[in-house]
Amino acid sequence: MSKQLLGLIILSISLIIATTVSACSTKMSITPPASTSTSPSVSVSAPVTKTPSSTTLTSSKPIVLPGDTVTSMSASYVNFNLEELIKNTATAVTGKVTAILPAKQDETMLPETFFYTDVIIQPERYLYGKSQADRIAVHVWGGRIGDIVMMTDGPIFTLGEECTIFLNHSVNHRTAPEGFTDDNYYAVWAGAKYNIRDGILVNTSNKKYSLSDVEQEIAKTQKNE
């Protein structure tokens, strides 16, 4: 083999090696480091803080956080039909939830954990009943105090929602929130709270009534009294 031919072969091999190294170098430079691709999951899996950013509650149903002590209470509710509901309640209100207050301990139930949460409602219309207050308070079982959470199967209220509720006055051993009296402090159970969906009243048992159905039944009930 001549020196000239040998030189050409060596030169060709050198060019191939140089090209391969260059390609590898390019590939490495555009591939993100492994740590960059995994950093979002580290952020997402960070421990959840138990200190709320705001004291404003948006739901009467508490959120359970890691480390919470959770208690629960269930009760049997009479699922009245519309006629029975009207006969067994003091008033009915269509209104908007304007505030949900921090939970309180029912002092009469100590040492047991029995929490209740007060919900403030601005009535838009009273369907029946003597009260015509411009604000009412309604208490529901459950809530959070510190890292203890009490869950129930009672009605859930959401800040800003519109609903129709059939109410009785709250029992005396629960203190009405500041600015309210026993006259405008009420209790409600699960089947007596109706959400309004496209003008139709729907409760947790999926019972549905139009507002005209309710008005007709109220008129019939009051006529028979």
Kindly list the distances between the CA atom of residue 113 and the CA atoms of 6, 107, 108, in Å, as whole numbers in the listed order.
93, 9, 10
Tokens found for residue 133: 């207050």
Quick one: pLDDT at residue 157? 97
Quick one: pLDDT at residue 74? 82
Class of domain 69-224: mainly beta
Return the closest-CA partner of residue 59 out of 104, 92, 103. 103
DSSP structure class, residue 158: B
Record the pTM. 0.72
Tokens found for residue 175: 């203190």
Question: How far is the C-alpha of 178 from the C-alpha of 185, rounded, in Å?
Answer: 11
Q: Which residue has the tokens 């009412």?
A: 136
- Reading phi first (left if > 0) and then psi (alpha if -120 to 50, else beta), residue 143 is in left
Question: How far is the C-alpha of 45 from the C-alpha of 9, rounded, in Å?
Answer: 57
Quick one: pLDDT at residue 80? 86
Those residues of the chain that have pLDDT short of 70 are 1-55, 172, 225
SS3 113: coil
Residues 40-69 have pLDDT tens digits of 222 222 223 333 334 579 999 999 999 999
